[in-house]
Amino acid sequence: MNDMAKNLILWLVIAAVLLTVFNNFSVENAPQTMNYSQFVEQVQNQQIESVTIDGYSISGERTDGSQFQTIRPAAEDPKLMDDLLAHNVTVVGKKPEEQSLWTRLLIASFPILLILAIFMFFMRQMQGGGAGKGGPMSFGKSKAKLLSQDQIKTTFADVAGCDEAKEEVEELVDFLRDPTKFQRLGGTIPRGVLMVGPPGTGKTLLAKSIAGEAKVPFFSISGSDFVEMFVGVGASRVRDMFEQAKKQAPCIIFIDEIDAVGRSRGAGMGGGNDEREQTLNQLLVEMDGFEANEGIIVIAATNRPDVLDPALLRPGRFDRQVVVPLPDIRGREHILNVHLRKVPLADDVKPSLIARGTPGFSGADLANLVNEAALFAARRNKRLVGMEELELAKDKIMMGAERRSMVMTEKEKLNTAYHESGHAIIGLVMPEHDPVYKVTIIPRGRALGVTMFLPEQDRYSLSRQQIISQICSLFGGRIAEEMTLGPNGVTTGASNDIKRATELAHNMVAKWGLSDEMGPVMYDEDESHQFMGGAGQGGKLKSGETTTKLDKEVRRIIDDCYQQARQILEDNRDKLDAMAEALMQYETIDSTQLKDIMEGRAPRPPEGWDDPSGGSPSAGRTESEPSPSDVAEDGDGEDGEEPSRRPSDPLGGPAGS
């Protein structure tokens, strides 16, 4: 019986009790009331047909058929009976009515019952309705949701892009199906599996697919569901969860965002007595304590493994860590195939091209891309989702939604066009720079213009030349403004470019050891890594003189890149003007038009170009054109804000740094 049915029955009982009590006190069709003198007078005038005497109350019927009621002043009136009999009035006696014991008990206890019902109602509301766990006294009951083997339809076929992680957990399915296969050789299956990876990579989906493949019950709970304001409640819920799991063994317990309860002990306020640490202690005991929980596999997911308690990660508890990374190009293609099965597709859709153009996308990002494409097709009243809608959805996610309603003056548009052209030309000329995918002066997201670059393949680190090339391209927009508007005409639109270029130069010197002057030494101390002084002592490796050298080396790198970028734009001034003119005409140009401009030809109109006066972005792609990028250079941005970029944006530093 669910909560709605229980609440309905409770209120029906309360309504029935109220109706019964009110009926006892209600008076319907009450007869006419008169005083005793009038009654005696009517008796003597022979206007009374019959009377019923009930103690002090006298009721009856007149000769005309009307009803009446009166109250006599005294319990005994000997003359009354004589008058009634003398005037031929029929007299009926009534025995005093006695209420039953149950009726009197119900009436007497009704206020108390009403107060208890109201109290229980509010207690159930405070505890989230009780969730079938015993009503208002269910503080210590587990909130884990049990999915039976028939409810779980997810299998490994629904998971893509993480083949290595699937191989790691496949033996869990074998154990749950046939545990004797491992026990014959003395092997034991891991009690806990910790899934680690960025958000949206499919950790929860992978855990669910394990239960779907193994056909076993699946308990799902979040780490935050254990923690309450009352000390000891979380530990009680952990105990209750494992007790329920024992009854369903073999089964899987999945704890999402375990860092909410599994943080290192003693790291915060409250010492060892706070609620979270008691909950963690109970979880440690349940996973590997005196009492073994055979047949229960705990799977947890987190994107912050560095904050977890070491006792939680030791063998015997979470025996292995399964890394679920961002998918590579093949993984992205497989994920797209999974999500594209759910929408009607046109014949021109090529998942491989979309996969090439979405580096750094997680599985959730790709699912969102397919959904946005379906929405674009629905807005256009199309019956099939085509490549054009997928391209539009990809551009919206990577660069932000178009803001065509934003009014810009011709001067601002021209300045934005030169700014973005500066980024693009530097990116096209500098060695080892990612190719330019698209340039637009249509406001998108928080930027007034966007220049997008693409990596030719998935990249996991950056070379020194690649970083230098990126710093040069970041300054291309500011230099283009300075060349066209003069030193006093430079706008604030390059503030984010300057910030990112400075961060890259600083990291080259202080973190990545890419400076000959400072050597391969790490001068910046990570928040999670302390050395030369130990934890809590805040050890530092650099003196004031070293800091001065660092600043000078960072300034030298930036000055060299700035001068190199300026020289490139001065040598290609004709191409800068031609590209800005093309942007003013078409608003958006892609690699085809960029190639024409760099080769000295007039850029061809974008595909789908119909209105020379209104302007529209390119709607199609050629087979030879590269796929879209994970890096966007913001143009004449509002208040120096950057446009949205993919989480894997390499401008923040190479992977693993």
| Backbone region of residue 223 per phi and psi (left: phi > 0; alpha: psi in -120 to 50; beta: other values) | alpha
Planar angle of CA 206, 210, 215, nearest 5 degrees: 145
Cα–Cα distance for residue pair 473/434, rounded to 1 Å: 10
Cα–Cα distance for residue pair 188/465, rounded to 1 Å: 50
232 known member of a binding site: no
Cα–Cα distance for residue pair 391/370, rounded to 1 Å: 10
486 known member of a binding site: no
Q: How far is CA 200 from CA 258, 444, 446, 587, in A?
A: 16, 24, 24, 34
Residues 6+ apart with CB under 8 A from 50: 60, 61, 89, 90, 91, 92
3-state SS assignment for residue 92: strand
87 known member of a binding site: no
Beta-strand relationship, 48-54 and 90-93: parallel
Catalytic residue among 333, 389, 391, 420: 420
Beta-strand relationship, 436-440 and 450-453: antiparallel
Nearest to 324 by CA among 338, 303, 354, 309: 303
610 known member of a binding site: no
Residues 6+ apart with CB under 8 A from 297: 172, 175, 176, 189, 190, 191, 192, 193, 250, 251, 252, 253
Tokens describing residue 208: 């669910």
Cα–Cα distance for residue pair 446/635, rounded to 1 Å: 10
* Type of residue at 323: V
199 known member of a binding site: yes
Give catalytic status of residue 420 as yes or no. yes
198 known member of a binding site: yes
Contact assessment for residue 472 and residue 565, using Cβ atoms and an 8 Å cutoff: yes
433 known member of a binding site: no
* C-alpha atoms less than 13 angstroms from C-alpha of 602 in its C-beta half-sphere: 3
93 known member of a binding site: no
Tokens describing residue 10: 């409770």
601-605, long-range: CB within 8 Å, 24+ apart, which pairs?
602/578, 603/578
Q: Is 543 exposed, middle or buried (0-12, 13-18, 19+ CB in 10 A)?
A: exposed
200 known member of a binding site: yes
Cα–Cα distance for residue pair 94/59, rounded to 1 Å: 11
* Type of residue at 527: E
- Binding-site positions for ATP read 197-204
Residues assigned a catalytic role: 420
Bind-site residues for Zn(2+):
419, 423, 497
Residues of the binding site: 197-204, 419, 423, 497
